[in-house]
Each structure stands twice: as structure tokens, then as C-alpha cells.
Structure 1
Amino acid sequence: MTVALWCILIAICLPYLCIGIAKVRGGYGLRHNHDPRGFLDSLEGLGKRAYAAQLNSFEVTPAFAAAVIVAHLAGNAELVTINVLSVLFITSRLLFIICYLADWAILRSLVWFVGMGLIISFFVVSV
């Protein structure tokens, strides 16, 4: 397995890190287990931002996974390039989550654009 393929697994796991933060911060307990989505909708502050980061992570992960797989299948990009782009993407996602939790909205948006640029880069290097 390449580093890039391991990064797909990391990207798949990142939303669960976010939701863990949301549930811990929101005082989630077994009493909320009957309606966990209702509980998440009631969050405020850090918990709400962690939940939003989780949703965004679920939205972007399929695009990242597809980009990595396309780059591997196209065979035109150097493996080291694909691996570096993957690590940079995961780094951008971690920074995105940190910015979301810290409520740094402008920086968060800039980091999001960097991540999207990295996804596009997989296709560009695969030509």
C-alpha cells in the first residue's frame, strides 16, 4: 500500500474524530442515544463547530479518495508526487478542523481552498 492510499483511510477516520469532540463537548451520554442526530442539532459553540467540521469532512473525503485512485490508475504521475500531495491534503484537513474548532472562519476558508486545490492537483499531475 502506498502512503497515498493510507491517507485515504486517515481521511475516512477524520470525521469520527470531529464527532467525538462534538459529543464530548456537548455532554453526550447514553441518555441521548435514542436520538443522537437530534442531540447533534442542539449543539452550540465548539460542539456545533466540531459537528460542522465532521459534515464537511464527509463531503470532501469521496473527492479526495477518487483523486488518489485516479492518479494511481492513470499511471502518469510519480508515486512520490501522489504521496506528497496526499500528505499535504491530510495536513490541510487537520488545519481545517483546527481552524473550525477555533472559530477562525477566514483562515478556515483559505485552508479549505488549499485542500480543494490539492484535490485538483491530483488530476493535473496525472495528465
Structure 2
Amino acid sequence: MTVARFTLAYWCVLVAALLPIFCAGLAKWGTFSKPRSDGGFDNHNPRAWLAQQTDWRARANAAQANSFEALPFFIGAVVIAHQLGAYQTRLDLLAFVYVVLRLVYILMYVANLANLRSMVWGLALAMNVAILFVGYR
């Protein structure tokens, strides 16, 4: 019997899938203890509450949406690279760098560093394309 193991690239998929949840938590940070009437988080209508946020909370929520948008391509690229028999070390490294870039992207987004954020987004996209083709021969 062959036992499948999680590669680093697969662990990176898990981390990437958790990034939107991290962003949502960041957007809501410090508001759970405040009453709804005082602007605290409204779990009865969370999307409307998030839509009313401004400044860094709004940017954290936007980073959440972008993290969800980027996720399918990353998952697909990792799975395809594995199916094509990519060199595991190279795939693991590319996936790890992608996740690090996405974390930096989120931090740049929340910090309102738009030009740097866009540059990091482009690097992460390029990394994802590299992951897709790393198994191509």
C-alpha cells in the first residue's frame, strides 16, 4: 500500500486557503467587544457591516476578496504541477514563495501602500504561472 504524503506545496494550498479568513479577522479586529450600536461588529449582518468600514478595515476586507479570487488559480496550478510530475523541490519552493508574496500583498494592502502592493500582486501572479508550468516538459 502506498501512503500519500502532503508536500510542502499542498501545505501552501492550505495556508493560502486560510488567508481570506485571516483578512476577515483582521478587518473585524477589536470590534467584537463593542456593542453593535457603537459600531461594533454586527454578526447579524456581517457583509453590510464590512461594506460600511473605511480605512484599513475596508482594505483588509478588500484583501479578503482578492485572496478568495486568487485561490482557484493557485490550487489548480499546484494540482496540475503535481500531475505533470514537477520536480518536487522546485514546486515546493515556488509555492512557498507564492504564499509569502500573498502575505506581503495583504500587509501592503492594509498599510495602504498601493504601488508596492500592485508590484507584489504581479510577482505573485508570475509565481503562480511558474507553478503552472514547472512540470511542463
TM-score normalised according to structure 1 size: 0.94
Cα deviation, residue 123, structure 1:
2.3
Which is helix-richer, 1 or 2? 1
Residue 12 in structure 1 maps to residue 22 in structure 2: no
**Deviations 1:67-121 (CA, angstroms, capped at 9, x unpaired):** 000000011x210000000000000001000100110000000000001001100
Which protein has the larger Cα radius of gyration, Structure 1 or Structure 2?
Answer: 2
Identify the residue that residue 3 of structure 2 maps to in structure 1.
none
1:92 aligns with: 101
The residue matched to 2:44 in structure 1 has which SS?
Answer: coil
- Please list every run of 5 or more consecutive structure 1 residues that lacks an aligned counterpart in the other structure: none
* Corresponding pairs, count: 125
1:70 equivalent to 2:80? Answer yes
1:112 corresponds in structure 2 to 121
1:37 corresponding residue in structure 2: 47
Mapped contact 2:81–2:133 kept (Cα < 8 A): no
Q: How many percent identity over aligned positions?
A: 38
- RMSD of the TM alignment (CA)? 1.2
User: How far apart, CA to CA, are the structure 2 residues paired with 1:60 and 1:37?
Assistant: 20
Match of 2:64 among 54, 73, 81: 54
Q: Deviations over 1:4-53 (max 9, x none)?
A: 0000000000111111010125x256741111100010000010000000
How far apart, in 2, do the equivalents of 1:126 and 1:44 lie?
Answer: 43
1:125 equivalent in alignment to 2:130: no
Give structure 1 regions of 4+ aligned residues with deviation exceeding 6 angstroms.
none
- TM-score normalised by the chain length of structure 2: 0.87
Matched residues in 2 for 1:4 and 1:79: separation?
8
- The match for 2:111 is 102
SS for the counterpart of 2:12 is helix
